[in-house]
């Protein structure tokens, strides 16, 4: 037991809920352990007037938290795993993932209700390239506009009439007790979620066994296996906010089923593949490679090349 465990977290209501949940679990598992929160404002929180894809991608939400670990201002960082890029910086580790909450995406469209009832030309707010591409693939008649801000801010923008609808993770709405705002939940067969969606990732310094001991009881082995496959797919396909990439691994008995999807930003090209493996750590990583290779060899390589070219021309 260490004198005090410091948890680095963003300051949004959802991030604080997640950090406080981790804090309570550690205190419950280790009576007498002092745990405090260190609130960090990230670049992704500060820049609200542009889509994330234009200012550096989802890593913007984790870099400052990781910096607090490097300078030893914090001992543990709590992330939404879907925000964590495929490669963890040298010197840090992501040894624990929590049990997965609902991984699905939710539609919030109070004036229309369901996705099919959105009128042609309806304005849907999302700053996720994945969600935007998936929506355009399903409904090219929709108008997709970027929307930034925390969960409450996005809901307020829909309520004000600035947008007809927005998409949010079911897990976040449940954690904030805003599930009543959901007008439709998308099954993964319709909208495959982000890799790691619904999971909390706990990041520490590699050379910190004392913190690892405190957080180890939060590890969920089934989620960890599935995330090995998902994060290997993410790593191989260079997934960040500038790549419309989706995927989900589920355990079914003693087997893992991994589905992956890579899209062009306009939704006109979609490359998908699914495969299964034994439910072991080694097989999970190989499963991620198998799905990544199949996507790359079926048109994914060309999509990634076009995305890189577009990024180079529009830095």
> End-to-end alpha-carbon separation of the chain, Å?
47
Q: What pLDDT was estimated at residue 179?
A: 97
pLDDT < 70 positions in the chain: 1, 43-58, 239-241, 312-315
105-186 is classed CATH 3.40.1190.10:
no
Catalytic residues: 83
- Which pair of tokens denotes residue 76? 């543990």
Residue 15: partners with Cβ closer than 8 Å, 6 or more residues away: 9, 78, 80
Please state, in angstroms and rounded to a whole number, the distance separating the CA atoms of residues 40 and 11: 7
Q: What is the DSSP string of 268-298?
A: S-EEEEEEEEESSHHHHHHHHHHHHHHHIII
Please state, in angstroms and rounded to a whole number, the distance separating the CA atoms of residues 280 and 93: 20
Q: For domain 1-100+199-219, which CATH number applies: 1.10.3080.10, 3.90.1150.10, 3.40.190.10, 3.30.70.141?
A: 3.40.190.10
> How is the chain split into domains, by residue range?
1-100+199-219, 105-186, 220-307
Are 92 and 65 in contact by the 8 Å Cβ rule? The answer is no
Strand partners, 275: 258
- Which pair of tokens denotes residue 5? 């465990």
Asked whether the domain spanning 220-307 has the same topology as the one spanning 105-186, the reply is: no
Are 124 and 145 in contact by the 8 Å Cβ rule? The answer is yes
Architecture of domain 220-307: 2-Layer Sandwich (3.30)
- Which pair of tokens denotes residue 202? 């706990």
């Amino acid at each position: 037991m260490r004198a005090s465990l410091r948890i680095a977290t963003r300051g949004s209501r959802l991030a604080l809920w997640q950090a406080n949940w981790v804090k309570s679990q550690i205190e419950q598992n280790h009576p007498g352990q002092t745990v405090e929160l260190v609130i960090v404002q990230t670049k992704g929180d500060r820049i609200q007037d542009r889509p994330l894809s234009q200012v550096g991608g989802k890593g913007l939400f984790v870099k400052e938290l990781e910096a607090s670990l490097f300078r030893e201002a914090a001992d543990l960082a709590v992330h939404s795993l879907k925000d964590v890029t495929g490669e963890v910086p040298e010197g840090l580790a992501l040894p624990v993932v929590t049990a997965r909450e609902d991984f699905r995406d939710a539609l919030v469209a109070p004036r229309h209700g369901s996705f099919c009832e959105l009128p042609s030309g309806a304005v849907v707010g999302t700053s996720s390239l994945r969600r935007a591409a998936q929506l355009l693939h399903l409904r090219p008649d929709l108008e997709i506009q970027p929307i930034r801000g925390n969960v409450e801010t996005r809901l307020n923008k829909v309520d004000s009439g600035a947008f007809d609808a927005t998409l949010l993770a079911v897990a976040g709405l449940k954690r904030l007790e805003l599930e009543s705002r959901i007008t439709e939940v998308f099954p993964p067969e319709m909208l495959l979620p982000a890799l790691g969606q619904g999971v909390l990732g706990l990041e520490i310094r590699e050379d910190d066994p004392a913190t690892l001991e405190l957080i180890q009881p939060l590890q969920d082995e089934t989620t960890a296996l599935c995330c090995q496959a998902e994060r290997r797919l993410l790593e191989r396909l260079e997934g960040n906010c500038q790549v419309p990439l989706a995927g989900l691994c589920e355990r079914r008995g003693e087997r893992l089923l991994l589905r992956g999807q890579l899209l062009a930003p306009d939704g006109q090209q979609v490359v998908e593949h699914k495969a299964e493996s034994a439910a072991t750590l080694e097989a999970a990583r190989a499963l991620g490679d198998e799905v990544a290779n199949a996507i790359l060899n079926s048109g994914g390589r060309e999509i990634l090349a076009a995305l890189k070219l577009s990024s180079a021309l529009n830095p």
